[in-house]
Amino acid sequence: MIIMDKNLKIVYLDRITAGPIDLKEKFSKYGKYIEYEDTDSSKIDERIKDVDVVITTRIKLGKKQFEKAEKLKLILITATGFNHIDVKSANEFGIKVANVSGYSTNSVAQLAITFLLNELTPVNKYYEEVKKGKWIDIAVPEYQKYPIDDADGKILGIVGFGNIGKRVAQVAEILGMKVMVVKNNEKDYGKTNSVIEKDGILQYDLDEVLEKCDVLTLHVPLTDSTRNLINLEKMKKMKKSAVILNLARGPVINQEDLYFALKNKIIKSAAVDVTSVEPIEKNSKLFELENIVITPHIAWKSEKSMITLMNDVEKNLKLFLEGKLEGLK
């Protein structure tokens, strides 16, 4: 039985991230619901000081904010990643933190495969050629400005073998690719000379995957172990023809090193849905490059994913009110 508290105050700090879904009807039945399109860091304290529940996708919250939010009992994250929340401090203040997982598996995997296929058959670049009036010359193999490759027989390295990594692997294998999974236990990332088997899947040392893969795709959360996991030293181990896809978090790749590796053709190309700073700086050096594709962190934002996400956020609120919320997933 859910205990409704009409005095419960709920605030969504960055509602802009939720898209066109009507949330007032969804959350108003649990108490007073207020939403802001976005919240500048200077306004956080004022907006959470007398609320019971905070909903957020990306607003950074930590000890300084918790000290002033005496009524705060619950933070509902409208995402899987929670690196913007100081969970340790939240626990110390008796504040529950809950995220949502699995809501965008297909959506993120879909963009990963889109990136992969576009790297093998660069349709965007050929479209630009067609707009310039070229047709016959680019259709003749020896005049192809952008070589077209085949997925069949290629090796796909996957870092992060959760729901998304597994879905990407399924599609890649249908395309004829061989999949190599990096050991997904954080404490194993730096280990060498060990191939392990988990749930019938062989998992390899990161360096071995880097040396052998044609495409590397990243699907790990941002933690102390994964920050700068892919740096210049790691990229130098890869084939010069290798491609990197990042659909995890921007800082999983050292962005300065990525720029250097792409500019100096240490690797062939990259496609990323995330950057070290978001939104990406308007003067980012990455824009100088022709061998990178950047999308604005859209992998999780299919309409179906957004509806599932908000339903799951509401479930977390219900579980909290019932005293059954377990917390982070």
User: Which amino acid does the sequence have at 306?
Assistant: M
Residues in the chain: 329
Q: C-alpha 60: how far from its chain's center?
A: 17
Q: Residues 227, 253: contact at Cβ < 8 Å?
A: no
CA gap 214, 205 in Å, rounded: 16
Instruction: Compute CA distances 21 → 18, 305, 309, 310, whole Å.
Output: 7, 11, 11, 9
* 32: exposed, middle or buried (Cβ count in 10 Å: 0-12, 13-18, 19+): middle
CA gap 180, 266 in Å, rounded: 21
Active centre residues (catalytic): 249, 278, 297
Instruction: Compute CA distances 264 → 258, 269, 286, whole Å.
Output: 10, 11, 13
CA gap 223, 239 in Å, rounded: 27
User: 31 — alpha (psi -120 to 50), left (phi > 0) or beta?
Assistant: left
